[in-house]
Structure 1
């Protein structure tokens, strides 16, 4: 079966989250996107901030993430989960550098079509991003940077099941302690 490589840098870094969307997803290493920073400036349908990468034109800026191999038959499921093509553009020739051997690797990733500064992720989403970074042992200073991003409580009283689904994934992965309703 054919497959593609995918660079996850947000909540999809958490294997259980991505595998719920694409069951074949297998982590194959960590990598960095040079000349990019991570932010939560992608406006979600729930008005919270979701992760995206911003090109900075500064080679010292680095965003870390996880490389996954996914069966090509699951590409549509990933596109749907990422809101492609309305919310995110898919870049199938996005180049990252492997931390294992420093080789440049062409991958697929998703970049927000539109950014809005000042958005905050909801606490459950922030916890998923942080858990994925910890699961794959991204550099400690990068994990600390992610942990310091301010977040907000989800104001939806029903929460459309989002928070419960996130908590279930975090519990199964052993990272429920990262979830907090307190504003960061």
Structure 2
């Protein structure tokens, strides 16, 4: 059975939610994506996290090992390929149990860049915050993304 590594930076940091969606997934470790920023973008149904290049910015992430079935489930959840597309990144991942750093290739979902900035629901933000707390990430990353979306979006 083929397994791959998946980079989570939004609601899929929420461990209970990931366990339901992807029962075969297991947490490998954490990392940081350099020169990318978090943004809330979306559609008429809501705004969700994505990442886009920005020099000097960073995004904390968790890395999951997923089965083929888990990846298909993630594809559906992320609206792949219409809402989000997939790309590969190579990251230095700090092991959850060992603390060892290993360089690995993993896939990540990124929202199509032409989508507009928008304000997320508090339910979605709280789902992401639960994940941030579980992994010990600084919550300010999420609050900064909300602030950018508020300031630069076309919503009232």
| Structure 1 residue 144 displacement after superposition | 2.6
Whether 2:132 is the aligned partner of 1:133: answer: yes
**Distance of 1:129 and 1:18 partners within structure 2:** 12
**Distance of 2:38 and 2:2 partners within structure 1:** 30
Query: Where do 5+ consecutive residues of structure 2 fail to align?
Result: 151-156
Give the conservation status (yes or no) of the 8 Å contact 1:34–1:96: no
**Distance of 1:12 and 1:121 partners within structure 2:** 15
**Distance of 2:44 and 2:17 partners within structure 1:** 19
**Distance of 2:101 and 2:52 partners within structure 1:** 22
Of 83, 86, 89, the match for 2:79: 83
| Structure 1 residue 45 displacement after superposition | 4.7
> 1:146 maps to what in 2?
142
> 1:22 maps to what in 2?
22
| Structure 1 residue 61 displacement after superposition | 1.2
Deviations 1:138-164 (A, max 9, x none): 2xxx32332463599xxxxxxxxxxxx
Task: Name the TM-score, length of structure 1 as normaliser.
Answer: 0.70
In 2 relative to 1, CA 84–122 (structure 1 residues): closer, same or farther, beyond 3 Å? same
Whether 2:61 is the aligned partner of 1:65: answer: yes
Task: Name the TM-score, length of structure 2 as normaliser.
Answer: 0.82
Larger strand share, 1 or 2: 2
| Structure 1 residue 130 displacement after superposition | 0.8
Deviations 1:52-108 (A, max 9, x none): 00111x1x21101110011123221110000000000011x2222324445432101
Moved over 3 A (4+): 99-104
Structure 2 residue matching 1:61: 3-state secondary structure: strand
Give the conservation status (yes or no) of the 8 Å contact 1:130–1:147: no
Give the conservation status (yes or no) of the 8 Å contact 2:31–2:93: yes
RMSD of aligned Cα (Å)? 2.0
